[in-house]
Amino acid sequence: MKFDTLLIHNGHECDKTTGALGVPVFQTSTFVQTDVNAGQEFDYSRSGNPTRKALEDTIALLENGAAGYAFGSGMGAIASVLGIFDTGSHIIVSEDVYGGTYRILNTFYKRWGLEHTACDTSNIDTIKKAIKSNTKAIFLETPSNPLLKITDLNTALNFAREHDLISIVDNTFMTPLLQRPIELGADIVVHSGTKFLGGHSDVLSGLAVARTEKIGKLIYAVQNGFGAIPGPWDVFLVLRGIKTLKTRLETSQKSAAVIAAWLCGHKNVDSVYYPGLDSHPGRDTHFKQAAGAGAVLSFKVKTKEAAAAFFAKISLAAPAVSLGGVETIASYPVRMSHAGVPVDERERLGITDTLIRLSIGLEDAGDLINDFDCALNQS
C-alpha cells in the first residue's frame, strides 16, 4: 500500500470489539485479570495501554521498523532511548542537535557516565575522528535545527554498521512522510510527536521506533521502567493528527519553498537556510535521502535590532517556541531552543542573535509574505 493509504489504514482504523471507526480512548490505569496466574496483553497502563499501542503500531508501520514506543514528549523519548546505554559508553552526536538533547547529554547523562563527542556529522572525516574504543552509538539529526545542515545518512549509517554502533536518528523535521531512516539502515528513529505528527500545537508527544525486536526490547525496558509514557487522550490526538500528515505537510512545504525563495530576494535578509534552495549546502544529499525539503526554514537579518523588530511586528505568524503546527510559528533560537547552549559555542555554530526560524503552517503563503514583509521593513 502507498504511504497515504497507510496513514489512514494502519490496522487500527476500526475497533474490533465495537466497530468504532476510531481508536477508543482507554482511560484506565489497570485491567481486570481473568486468570491471575496467566499473563495477558494489558495489565497496567504504564506497561501497556490499547490506545497507546495503536499509536506505537502506527509509527512502527510508517517508519518501517519492528516496534514503536510512545512517550509523553520528544525529550521523554530521547532520554529513554539514551537510557539503554551502560555507564562508561561513549556516543557521537551531531553538534547542532536539538537543544534539549544537548542539555541532557551535558548534564544528566554526563553525570551518569555516558560520554559524548559532539561533531559536525555532515562531514564523515569528523565522525571518524570522534570514534573511541568505548563508542557505542551515533545520534544524528538531519536536517538539523536551526540551520538545516544535512548529514549524509547513507555514509554515516554505513560507518555505524561497520563499527557496530547503534545508530539513532531524530526524524522530527522530516516525519516518515519525507524520510525513513530505518530503510536507510538506522537502528532507532526518535520523534517529537509534538511537531508535525501531532500537527496542531495542542499536545506534547514523543515516539521511538526500533529496527529490530531486540533493540525494541531495550527501549521497552526503559519505557516501562522509567514510565515517561503519554496518557491516552494525548495519544488519541497524535493518532488523529497523523491521519492528515500528508495533506498538512505537503501544503506547508509548498508555502515554505515560496517563502524561502522570496526571503532570498529581500534586501533586509542576509542569508536563508532551506534544503529546497539550490544554494543550500547538502541539498543534493538531502534529496537522495528525503522526498521533500520540509516546512521549516531559517534566515538571518542584518542586526539584532532588526530581529527584535521582526518579532514585535509579525501578526499572522506567532512568535513562539515549537514547530510543525497548522499555525505558522516564528522562533528566536538564541532565546528559545538554543538558550541552553553556551554563547561561544552558539556563535561557532552560526546560531546568532540575527537568526530567525520559521515553521510554515497552513495559512495562505501570500498573506504570510505580506506579514513578513511588513515586519522586515521595520528598521
Ligand X SMILES: *Cc1c(COP(=O)(O)O)cnc(C)c1O
Which positions lie near ligand X, rule CB under 6 A?
73-75, 98, 100, 141, 145, 170, 172-173, 192, 194-195, 204, 206
Nearer to ligand X, 208 or 317 (CB): 208
Residue tagged active-site, from 53, 96, 98, 152: 98
CB of 287 to ligand X, least distance (A): 20
Nearer to ligand X, 118 or 376 (CB): 118
Q: Residue 65 in contact with residue 182, Cβ under 8 Å?
A: yes
Q: Answer yes or no: 52 catalytic.
A: no
Residue tagged active-site, from 96, 152, 170, 353: 170
CB of 97 to ligand X, least distance (A): 8
Q: Residue 126 in contact with residue 119, Cβ under 8 Å?
A: yes
Nearer to ligand X, 122 or 268 (CB): 122
C-alpha closest to that of 136 among 209, 215, 212, 59: 215
Q: Alpha-carbon distance 356 to 307, whole Å?
A: 7
How many CB atoms neighbour CB 331 within 10 A? 26
Q: Answer yes or no: 170 catalytic.
A: yes
Q: Alpha-carbon distance 365 to 357, whole Å?
A: 16
Q: Shortest Cβ contact with ligand X: which residue?
A: 74
Q: Answer yes or no: 4 catalytic.
A: no
CB of 242 to ligand X, least distance (A): 15
Nearer to ligand X, 322 or 352 (CB): 322
Nearer to ligand X, 176 or 375 (CB): 176
CB of 26 to ligand X, least distance (A): 22
CB of 32 to ligand X, least distance (A): 33
In eight-state DSSP terms, residue 30 is B
Residue tagged active-site, from 53, 149, 180, 195: 195
CB of 72 to ligand X, least distance (A): 8
Nearer to ligand X, 157 or 323 (CB): 323
Location of C-alpha cell 530521547: 78
Q: Answer yes or no: 195 catalytic.
A: yes
Q: Which residues contact 45 (CB under 8 A, 6 or more apart)?
A: 26, 28, 29, 30, 52, 229, 232
Q: What is the DSSP string of 122-175?
A: TSHHHHHHH--TTEEEEEEESS-TTT-----HHHHHHHHHHTTPEEEEE-TTTH
Amino acid letter for position 277: L
Q: For 203-242, b where at least 16 C-beta lie within 10 A, e where not — what string? A: bbbbbbbbbeeebbebbbebbeeeebbbebebbbbbbebb
Location of C-alpha cell 510527536: 193
Enzyme catalytic residues? 46, 98, 170, 195
